[in-house]
Amino acid sequence: MSDSTESVLKRKKKYTTLFSNVSQEEAEIILDFRFTEFYNSQTSINRFITKSAPEELKKKLFDRLVERLISEDFPEATIAPLNESVITDYVGQVLATMIAHIDSKMEHHLLKLRREKQIISKNDKYDENMEFMITQSIDNKNTRYVIVVEAKSDSLGKELTQLLLALKSMSEVNNDQKMVYGFVTTAIQWQLVTYNGQTWKLSEPSVLLFADMEKQED
């Protein structure tokens, strides 16, 4: 076995636990707060996002979602049959539309949507392939993590631990004290978490997708 191969194997062994397998008790120690208190601190999304999205983006997003509703029906977990991939396709559509709009207004395409992007904790003890990741190109050699999104068909809370650990790792890797953003979503409801290296904030869930969207445009 070559030295390089042995080094890779040793590094892989360091990742002992997936974010999704970390217990709530262990996560509370890592994050240094109680989940109950954090979850009870939810505030309105309007306190997070003070500027309204451009009308052009709203129209694009509305049209893309209506097209999916017509072709695939409403992604409600209680309505059978529903494949988990339907949820991720809706989420991917939202994110792709947003990134394409933002990049169209910039001289260079700095934002990229990545799927199943691996995030590794600073101490190499934890890792996970996150469903959606938005990255920002800083220069030819450096990329910054900006947004992570985890989709779930039934409950927002089930993905929260995994998302929080990923956000902490993203912030540590970026090492710039700038805000990182995370969403847990069912495609219908979206809940935002922000972290700047010191302070955590959690929004109340917001509804983005309605079953009768094709009948109303607002």
When divided into structural domains, the chain yields a total of 1
Biggest CA pair distance of the chain:
64
Question: φ, ψ for residue 129 (rounded to 5)?
Answer: -90, 110
What pLDDT does residue 2 have?
A: 45
Mean pLDDT of the chain: 86
Q: Please, which pLDDT band fits residue 218 given cuts at 50, 70 and 90?
A: low
Domain range for 30:
3-215
Instruction: Name the least confident of 16-20, 61-65, 105-109, 119-123.
Output: 105-109
Q: 214 or 153: which carries more pLDDT confidence?
A: 214
Give percent of the chain above pLDDT 90: 60
How is residue 140 written in tokens? Answer: 């030819």
What average pLDDT does this structure show over 173-196?
Answer: 94
**Which pTM does this prediction carry?**
0.86
For 20, half-sphere exposure in the C-beta direction (CA atoms, 13 angstrom radius) is 10
The predicted model gives 101-119 an average pLDDT of 89
pLDDT exceeds cutoff 50 at 168: yes
Structure tokens at 184: 């847990």
217 Cβ neighbours under 8 A, 6+ residues apart = 62
Phi, psi values for residue 176, rounded to 5°: -130, 0
Neighbours of 84 (CB within 10 A): 13
pLDDT at 127 over 80: yes
Instruction: Show Cβ contacts of residue 45 under 8 Å, excluding neighbours closer than 6 positions.
Output: 192, 203, 204, 206
Work out the average pLDDT over 84-89: 87
Residues forming a β-bridge with 206: 190
The one-character DSSP state at 123 is T
| Assigned token pair, 20 | 């999704």
Neighbours of 94 (CB within 10 A): 21
